[in-house]
Amino acid sequence: VRTARFPDSLAKLFALLRACDELEVDVAPARICQDVTIVPLFSWYNAEFDKRSRPDPNHGHDSQCVWPLDAQTQLWKWLLKLNEVHLRPPNQDTVLSCSHFLPLATLPFDSSGKAAQAMGCEEIEDQLRLAKSAAHVYGHSTIRSAQVHGGICFVNHALNLPSEEQAQPDGPLLLFDGMKGVVAGK
């Protein structure tokens, strides 16, 4: 939605990042304790994530977003480009990465209708592997899962909507234990 203060969604994103900076909320990679670094990844979906149907530019997945570049072919590439400076951690820390969108089409998600076209971006996986991530937490899917693929634990601990059939989780999921390392999915 356009406003005088936010002419497009990128202006809104940058304002949000400035507000986080002013409030001292970390949104960039950071070492959170000895030998552990969190690497958040900017991302957007790539309609080619859906292997069953052709991308539909008329399907309004995010009709409230107003992008100054093509959301189907350029936005996801531009956001991933923002991550490149952070993909080679300078130390041997255990890296825990996260993104909003799914990094693998083999992870569980609701694939009904055209939903898969706005579900993920497989190029996120390339970046988390460059960052040497031991575990990756992703969102956007309402299906809880912890699976290991290629040595990396992929975790979604969705809290779900009350109308959904899946039982509510008991609480937060332990992803990393300082003595045992990555524990989710094991």
Dihedral pair phi/psi, residue 49, rounded to 5°: -60, -35
128 near 41, Cβ under 8 Å?
yes
pLDDT in tens, the chain (186 residues): 567 888 999 999 999 999 999 999 999 999 998 899 999 999 999 888 877 766 665 666 777 888 899 888 899 999 999 999 989 876 788 999 999 999 999 999 887 777 778 889 999 999 999 999 999 999 988 888 999 999 999 999 887 665 556 666 667 888 999 889 898 866
